[in-house]
Amino acid sequence: MDEKKSSSFQGFFKGLKTEFNKIIFPNRQDIVKETTATIVVSLLIGVVIAVLDLIMKTGLGFILK
């Protein structure tokens, strides 16, 4: 039973090493592009939410007066 347990650990770590070798890390240019896109989209969504909030606040203020 100890041999089976030992070989299963070896198989696990061999598979783990194989999977780690498949990892492809992005280069600096890709990171900059994706970060820029994330910031721009976040700002756009923030502006849309702010405009919708202003419209709803103004509309409710007009209705409740």
Number of folded domains that form the chain? 1
pTM for the predicted model, two decimal places: 0.62
Q: For 9-32, what is each residue's pLDDT tens digit? A: 888 899 999 999 999 999 999 999
Structural domain boundaries, residue 12: 2-64
Give residue 2's pLDDT band: very low, low, confident or very high (50, 70, 90).
Answer: low
> Are 57 and 49 within 8 A, CB to CB?
no
SS (HEC) of 10-60:
HHHHHHHHHHHHCCCCCCHHHHHHHHHHHHHHHHHHHHHHHHHHHHHHHHH
